[in-house]
Homo-oligomer: A and B are copies of this chain.
Amino acid sequence: MDKPQTLRRFLTRLTSRSVMSPIEQEAILGLSVSARKYRTNHDIVSPKTTVEHACLIAEGIAARYDQSARGQRQITALYLPGDMGDLHSVVSPKAAWGIVALMPVEVLEVPHRELMSIAMRHPTVGMAFWRDGTADASILAKWAANARRSARSRLAHLMCEIGLRSEMAKLGTRTAFHFPVSQHQLADIVGLTAVHVNRTLQALRSDGLIRSHQGTVFVDDLEGLRKVADFDDSYLLLGLAKGQ
């Protein structure tokens, strides 16, 4: 993945929710970044460390996770290519959580110094960063609210979300997207056991809702899946820039 393309992808994410002038857009595209690769299951950011750069995902999928004392791992956010998952680390660099590569991942490290400087020189961009963070927080709120749902509904909801986010990021469509995570990783995302994830996926499959093949998920019955998930996409804050 070349750096300009990834930066453009990040810019697209920002401008999908915020209006930015050409000069401001140039500032984003002019960020100096350094690429770095991580192997599957390796920490991109270790828990309780202080970082001096934010991580822009160039390729692969990364996850923010919270580790409990008993070794239980719960994933609290997923980062797709074009996401700068820890953009908020610019203002609070001491992370309470970790970020891990769910597969081979390439990230572009962007120095906090530069992001901070842009935000100070262009308050509008600072607001865009802030707004970007609210979108992540909104997803998180939905995940927290999913505590009450059944396993079936939770998995369906996740698939709806990743489909839409993939489509938004031009990585696939809402009915066919690349999501090559193991069932064990899925379990850490939705807060279930790998065994139960397996059985639940089988049920969804035999109901003709979703299918997967070599890491690509196919949604065969989107309406049905949305119904099971009780899915309402407004929490993703799509097209905020137009909305208001």
Is residue A170 contacting chain B, with contact meaning CB distance below 8 A?
Answer: no
Is residue A123 contacting chain B, with contact meaning CB distance below 8 A?
Answer: yes
Is residue A178 contacting chain B, with contact meaning CB distance below 8 A?
Answer: no
Interchain CB contact under 8 A, B142 and A140: no
CA distance A130 to B147 in the complex (A): 27
Interchain CB contact under 8 A, A130 and B137: no
CA distance A133 to B130 in the complex (A): 8
A22 to B: closest C-beta gap in Å: 19
CA distance A136 to B70 in the complex (A): 25
- Name the residue of chain B whose CB is nearest to the CB of A76: B141
Is residue A31 contacting chain B, with contact meaning CB distance below 8 A?
Answer: no
Contacts of A146 in B (CB 8 A): 147
A6 to B: closest C-beta gap in Å: 23
How many chain copies?
2
Is residue A214 contacting chain B, with contact meaning CB distance below 8 A?
Answer: no
A35 to B: closest C-beta gap in Å: 26
Interchain CB contact under 8 A, A92 and B237: yes
27 CB-based A-B contacts, threshold 8 Å = A50-B244, A66-B145, A68-B145, A68-B148, A68-B230, A72-B148, A74-B144, A74-B147, A76-B144, A88-B130, A88-B133, A91-B127, A91-B131, A92-B138, A93-B244, A94-B244, A96-B141, A96-B234, A97-B235, A119-B127, A120-B127, A126-B127, A133-B133, A133-B137, A136-B137, A140-B141, A140-B144
What is A's interface to B at a CB cutoff of 8 Å?
Answer: 17, 48, 50, 64, 66, 68-70, 72, 74, 76-77, 88, 91-94, 96-97, 116, 119-120, 123-124, 126-127, 129-131, 133-138, 140-149, 191, 230, 232, 234-235, 237, 240, 243-244
Closest 6 CB pairs of A and B: A147-B191, A66-B145, A91-B131, A130-B130, A74-B145, A96-B235
Using A123-B123, A147-B147 as known contacts, list a sample of 13 further A-B pairs with CB atoms less than 8 Å apart, ordered by residue number in A: A50-B244, A74-B148, A91-B127, A92-B131, A92-B134, A94-B237, A94-B243, A96-B141, A96-B232, A129-B130, A133-B133, A137-B137, A144-B144
